[in-house]
Amino acid sequence: MTLPNGCARAWEAMPWVLQGSAPREQGDWLARHLAECADCRVEFEQQSRLQLALSLPPENAPDPGVGLERLLARLDRPEPEQAPPQRAGGWLTRALVAAVLLQAVGIGTLGVKLWSERPVAAYRTLSQAAPPSAPGAIHVVPDPGMKLADWNALLHGLGLRVIGGPNDVGAYTVVPAGDSTGDAVRRLRAAPGIRLAEPASPAP
């Protein structure tokens, strides 16, 4: 199976967009493509779940054997009734789909690995000395079990933008778009799934 040029470009961009390392133009292009392509939206959601799973503590890490079993079960499902000349091609199609899925997982894993190997300065804990934070920055620690979709919805709903993280304790650094830092901190603390929300710099 050969992916259309737009879909191939989207799959290549997904890991970098998910890690926040893609240029803005690439992220905007992917957003427009996802709005029009249901298949790529499904793939993007799968890579989003993979990214979230890789960020979980070891005790919450998913069992790779379960994912492999699910993939094999999908490949072994009987196909709808087809004309005999088309059945041979069905196996080939399934094999190619499996190869593409495995390649996508590999690309996502590579993207996460490259992101995790960035200089240590990008992964400081709250107790480490750090350069001056952006004005109004807030350190936020979401619950490890929080779904990526819920985290993104919370950020969007509160008008927050991630500018750093996660660090060694799972903290992100965010900045509010409109609210004052104090208001944003109070709203974060009241939101479900948030373990900690503190201003990055003490109030003057």
Q: Which pLDDT value is given to residue 63?
A: 61
Which of the four pLDDT bands, split at 50, 70 and 90, describes residue 136? Answer: confident
Task: Tell me if the bond preceding 166 is cis, omega within 30° of 0.
Answer: yes
Which of the four pLDDT bands, split at 50, 70 and 90, describes residue 84? Answer: low
For the beta carbon of residue 189, count every other beta carbon within 10 angstroms.
13
pLDDT digits (tens, 9 = 90+) for 162-174: 888 788 778 899 8
Report the sign of the C-alpha dihedral through residues 52, 53, 58, 59, in that order.
positive
Query: CA dihedral defined by 150, 154, 156, 159, rounded to 10 degrees?
Result: -170
Q: Which pLDDT value is given to residue 42?
A: 92
Q: Which of 62, 1, 48, 40 is nearest to 20 (CA)?
A: 48
pLDDT digits (tens, 9 = 90+) for 42-60: 989 988 888 777 766 655 5
For the beta carbon of residue 84, count every other beta carbon within 10 angstroms.
6
